[in-house]
Amino acid sequence: MLKHHHSPPAKPERVLILGASGFIARDLARHLAEEKIEHRTIASSEIDFLQPQSVAQLQSAIGQGDAVVLASGITPDKGRDVGTLMKNLTMAQNVVAALEAAPCAHLVYISSDAVYDWRENLIRETSVRQPAELYGLTHVVREQILTLVAAKAKIPLCIFCPCAIYGAGDTHNSYGPNRFLRGAIKDRMIALFGRGEETRDHIYIQDVSRLIALCLLYRSTGVINAVSGTALTFDELALMIAKIVGPDVKIAYLPRKAPITHRHFDVTERLVAFPSYVSTPLDEGLKASFLQLTALRQG
């Protein structure tokens, strides 16, 4: 269960975001600026966590009252092999070495719903972490490393597991809302595997940032899944996007490349932890993303 160490909520002295160029990090920085929460982002051009010298560099950057958000990592679109896994673990090793020498006031780790067993249809924060591929295993191991070091250094740790995130600033173009929107806008076509029968949950990027900010304000510890709580099929999603983008958008059904899997989330933990938080309705988030993507293309 998520535990709050600040009640009422209080702004951290500063939020240090590791992984400045990532989808989540960029929107989180935007949200913190809007909320007038002091923050600093660190990009790989400033501190490369694959390099040994990053330990001393990060150690110097961390303030005792800082809340650190670890959003730095190599994403699946850039590699799903053993080499990528080892690079991600090297990054975690260097970050925790710095945290051992310079403990922060709060640590939020941006993990992934890929840590869970895809054979389990209803996912909770207590669900077994038994991933089916190396990307999920990367996050499981990083979670364990951070948990051990945080306990040793007495750093409050929050593990934040988002499902598929959508929004105009996405850099991965993964199968789902982001790819469907881009395909509908550019090619007037959305390509589905099979009949798009699989059910998935999708969360708007600005909702992710709001949830992370809540965890920071309450100095929350434990695990929370960042999800909307509503799952629909890819076919339903494609039809929704086609309606938003235009009547000339076609849906193509391609041969299936993988078995059909479904995934639903139990949001009880989030409702208890943050009862006032409400997710953006999917149609509203998709419309906002469409308008932003259209503006980017025109600009």
For residue 62, is it within any domain?
A: yes
**CATH number of the domain where residue 114 is located:** 3.40.50.720
Contact assessment for residue 286 and residue 177, using Cβ atoms and an 8 Å cutoff = yes
Domain membership of residue 252 (yes or no) is yes
Give pLDDT tens digits for 184-218.
999 999 999 999 999 999 999 999 999 999 999 99
Six-digit token string for 233: 């099929």
State both tokens at 60. Answer: 């110097």
pLDDT at position 299, please?
61
Asked if residues 237 and 164 have their Cβ atoms less than 8 Å apart, the reply is no
Number of domains in the chain: 2
Do 171 and 160 belong to one domain?
A: no
Shared-domain flag, residues 62 and 124 = yes
Determine, yes or no, domain membership for 272.
no
Q: Are 293 and 181 in contact (CB under 8 A)?
A: yes
Q: Of residues 196 and 120, which shows the higher confidence score?
A: 196
Q: Does residue 285 sit in the same domain as residue 151?
A: no
CATH number of the domain where residue 248 is located: 3.90.25.10
Q: Verify that 176 and 209 share a domain, yes or no.
A: no
Q: For the chain, give the percent of residues with pLDDT over 70.
A: 100
Segment 22-49 mean pLDDT = 96
Co-location of 44 and 68 in the same domain: yes
Residues 98 and 182 placed together within one structural domain of the fold: no
Same domain, 151 and 171: no
DSSP 165: E
CA distances from 43 to 20, 22, 124 (A): 5, 9, 32
Q: Is residue 110 domain-shared with residue 130, that is, in the same domain?
A: yes
d(CA 226, CA 143): 16
271 DSSP β-pair partners: none
**Tokens of residue 9, six digits:** 């909520």
The domain of 177 spans 167-201+230-265+281-294
Find where tokens 């509503």 sit. Answer: 230
Give the whole-angstrom CA distance, residue 255 versus residue 102: 52
